[in-house]
A = this chain, B = another copy of it.
């Protein structure tokens, strides 16, 4: 069916190894031989069989990206960034979705596709400290994204969750908010994004001398728009007073804004809102949403580089692996309409 090295060799009148040498740019091939081989390759439309090459080399040129769900725009944008970074380095990306619960994350990590990739980029969601040992067992290079599992021997690329959320909270304080809802907490969580972001919120309040009101710390297990909407409905039902919202991600903020608007609250006049992630859609919502840009492209680039380094480290010497590294990316506060209270805020017509 498809042409192989043997076919090309026969047509070119050389050995298969010479064909292989031409393909791999081995230096000692006579120019005229090379030409003949290339002609044969073109004639037959030969393409190397990747399974065979992988079997021989032990490398597949693929990495997997484990994320909860592509419908979540944050992960779709992350996947895009990762695929761009990977393809610039000659790698393909196999995306694997996990349900977002601990069981399914563990089962994917242990899953059989493991044998098909050189390494794993793993966006941790449901695992915690107690699972660090499991991660260390996986016999593949792996880089953790956007999360901090304590004591794991894996490399991390992490955004500045605390600092980012503190900056967001400080921004709301600066424009005059005093009763600021923290939207998206996970009760009891310390290490994950929710725990860290809550910490940033508390730090900012503390620094400003604003007392913490437990009723303003609002739980949301998952961080989709629908969860932000649901949370806002119960906040309104409970009658809690508030004048600002710092949402732990943009989707929560967008969902909450929708419900507030239905209830007749004006943004930012009655309630200022800021999110986290800088999704594309924060530029198009009504009003546009202020947010923390967490350095996502940088996360993707750095993570792919680190993973590639681990893969190469493993391939070369038996030397002991380098120490696990943790990289924190730079964040940036992006102010848009949802926190712009100056008179004549643009785009508020009709609102």
Give chain A's interface residues, CB within 8 Å of chain B: 1-2, 45, 47-52, 54-55, 60, 62, 69-71, 73, 76-77, 79-80, 83-84, 92-97, 112-116, 139, 225-226, 229, 254-255, 257-258, 261-266, 280-281, 284-286, 346-347, 349-351
Closest to A347 in B: B262
Q: Which residues of B sit under 8 angstroms from A139, Cβ to Cβ? A: 1-2, 45
Q: How far is the CA of A4 from the CA of B84 in the complex (A)?
A: 34
Cα–Cα, bound, A263→B350 (Å): 8
A266 CB contacts on chain B under 8 angstroms: 350
Residue of B whose beta carbon sits closest to that of A93: B95
Indicate whether A286 sits within 8 Å of B258 (C-beta atoms), given known contacts A94-B92, A112-B48.
Answer: yes
Chain B residue contacts of A116, Cβ below 8 A: 50-51, 62, 92
A261, B51: Cβ atoms closer than 8 Å: no
Contact across chains for B50 and A254 when beta carbons are under 8 A apart: no
Assess the B261–A349 pair: CB atoms within 8 A: yes
Contacts of A79 in B (CB 8 A): 70, 95
Pick from B115, B226, B346: contact of A50, CB under 8 Å = B115
Chain B hits for A255, CB < 8 A:
284
B residues within 8 A CB of A226?
A: 284
CB distance from A195 to the nearest CB of B (A): 27
Residues of B within 8 A of A73 (CB): 73, 76
How many angstroms between the C-alpha atoms of A60 and B77 in the bound complex? 28
If A48-B112, A264-B350, A280-B71 touch, does A80 touch B92 (CB 8 Å cutoff)?
A: no
Q: Within the complex, which residue of B80, B284, B350 is in contact with A351, where a contact is CB–CB below 8 Å?
A: B350
A249 CB to closest chain B CB (Å) equals 14
**B residues in contact with A49, CB < 8 Å:** 55, 115
- Docked Cα-Cα span, A303 to B349, in Å, equals 45
Q: Given that A286-B286, A347-B262, A349-B262 are known contacts, is A113 also in contact with B95, CB under 8 Å in the complex?
A: no
Q: Are B60 and A69 in contact (CB under 8 A)?
A: no
